[in-house]
Amino acid sequence: MSVTDVQKDPINLTMTIDAEFEAAIGDVWNLFADPRKLERWWGPPAYPATFVEHDLSPGGRMSFFMTGPEGDQPRGWWRVLELDAPRRLVFENGLAGADGDPDPSMPFMVMRVSLSELPGGVTRVRVTTSFPSAAAMEQFLTRGMEEGLNQAISQMDAIL
């Protein structure tokens, strides 16, 4: 099933991606909770992720790098703001420098992930990204965020 809808709202500075999976909500949640499973889908197929820090608790930090086909390793970070397993995860997400710390020259975004059970053993995942400004939204979308997140989420099916 995977990605079913993508909505960009430049007025409210959000992008929402909906996906559906033929799997129990707990199994889908584990794709976030288990760092080895998270590595298998976070990032587009050509840029697999490696999580070097994975603290999925309120205030917890996640740090990772993705390895590109040319050996480049862009880095990123999450800071968990809210957690209600297995239904809700809210985190700040941004780019990091070589040391893994947030890159102060780049804006960060807030991502809200909600999981809900649908009839027939289907779980819906909604990822709503909020941007701090129109310029930041444009910057991330120009860098391929929509395509990258769509490709990343589409990899979840194979793990489930």
Query: What ranges do the domains of the chain cover?
Result: 2-159
Tokens linked to 52:
């070097």
* Vertex 6: Cα angle to 9 and 2 (nearest 5): 160
Amino acid letter for position 146 = E
What is the model's pTM? Answer: 0.94
The pLDDT, as a whole number, for residue 160 is: 96
In the chain, % helix, strand, coil (3-state, to 5) comes to: 25, 40, 35
The pLDDT, as a whole number, for residue 1 is: 67
Other residues' Cβ atoms within 10 Å of the Cβ of residue 110: 17
Q: Which helix (H) or strand (E) holds 19?
A: strand 14-21
* Vertex 147: Cα angle to 154 and 107 (nearest 5): 115
Amino acid letter for position 89 = L
The pLDDT, as a whole number, for residue 100 is: 87
Q: Which CATH architecture has domain 2-159?
A: 2-Layer Sandwich (3.30)
The rounded distance, in Å, linking the Cα atoms of 156 and 26 is 14
Tens digits of pLDDT across the chain (160 residues): 699 999 999 999 999 999 999 999 999 999 999 999 999 999 889 999 999 999 999 999 999 999 999 999 999 999 999 999 999 999 999 999 988 899 999 899 999 999 999 999 999 999 999 999 999 999 999 999 999 999 999 999 999 9
Q: Is 157 left (phi over 0), alpha (psi -120 to 50) or beta?
A: alpha
The rounded distance, in Å, linking the Cα atoms of 94 and 151 is 18
